[in-house]
Amino acid sequence: MIVVENAKLGSLVRYVGRPLLILFALDLAIAVAYVFGGWKWLASPHIPLSIFGGVIGVIAGFRNTSAYARWWEARTIWGGVVNNSRSFARQVLCLIDTPETEEVKRRLVLLQIAYVYSLGKHLRGAGAGHDLAGLISEQDLQDLGTQSNVPIAIQQKIASTVAECHKRGWIDSIRWVSLDRTLSNLMDCQGASERIKNTPMPLQYERFIRVSIQIYCLLLPLGMVQSLGLLTPIGSTFVGFMFLALDQVGRDLENPFENLPSDVSVSAIGRTIEINLKQMMREREIPEPLAPVDGILW
């Protein structure tokens, strides 16, 4: 998640990247050909650029609204991961209350932290081994190495441990049901995150907007060159930049778990959960919150 307060012009230009450079080169070539080459036929001042731009702006704005809704839904889901993780730790530490279960309670809370980290890595398509070291045993790490969905495997270990606590009489049926309900809520959050991850925006919808913006950018210098002359690259590139940036913003926001700067900051959220849960256990070694790297909070 980008957390830079003051965006610089250079970073904004780099954000759009190569399409903007291509547009500038095209604008410059048309302006030079029109002014110095005598190619007066290039000028097409009657192209209704304002009408085309208005229509494309409305369509792109609608797409970006839908993309932001996906991003915000993803962030809301991870808010549920935070709340349910805290609730699960509280229930484990308070509802399982016998002297011989201290190590079991600690193992359950650490497994929950491992679950959050592994879920973030799973959604981003990355391995979670280094994040889980110190949270679960070596044997558990080896077992998880064969799993295609590590978060589910970890939650299965959590559920099995809770069931064992019930079997041994360390918690009654009502408390067991309460813990199981919290685990089910976490699984709902995982399923909702995977739904967003595995269901992209309709490809035809995205291509239509991108092609429309590209055609509009190609028409810009033709409609401006007669009135602007050698200043065409400035006017055309500036207008094109806004549309290209609008398209790029929409494409970034529609994929909140792609390990991109615009991602939901699942790594930072996972660290926050680790801090909260370890403090609830009164651990001595508490990690520091993740800090932004180059203005990006991962």
Range of weakest confidence among 73-77, 128-132, 211-215 = 128-132
pLDDT value, residue 280: 93
Helix (H, G, I), strand (E, B) or coil at 296: strand
Q: Are 260 and 15 contacting, i.e. CB atoms less than 8 angstroms apart?
A: no
pTM over 0.95? The answer is: no
Handedness of CA 95, 101, 106, 112 (dihedral sign): negative
pLDDT value, residue 10: 61
- Cα-based distances in Å from 211 to 62, 65, 78, 100, 102: 16, 19, 34, 66, 61
- For residue 205, pLDDT over 80 is answered with no
pLDDT value, residue 22: 87
Mean pLDDT of 175-183: 93
Mean pLDDT of 257-271: 88
What does the DSSP assignment read for 237-252?
HHHHHHHHHHHHHHHH
49-95 and 102-123 helices, crossing angle to 10°: 170
pLDDT value, residue 289: 87
Taking the C-alpha atoms of residue 123 and residue 138, their distance in angstroms, rounded to an integer, is: 23
Q: Dump pLDDT digits (tens) for 47-89.
A: 888 888 888 888 888 888 989 999 999 999 999 999 999 999 9
- DSSP H or E segment with residue 193: helix 173-198
- For residue 127, pLDDT over 70 is answered with no
Average pLDDT, the chain: 86
Percent pLDDT > 90 in the chain is: 30
- Cα-based distances in Å from 219 to 39, 236, 241, 250, 272: 16, 9, 14, 22, 49
Q: Are 225 and 42 contacting, i.e. CB atoms less than 8 angstroms apart?
A: yes
Percent pLDDT > 70 in the chain is: 94
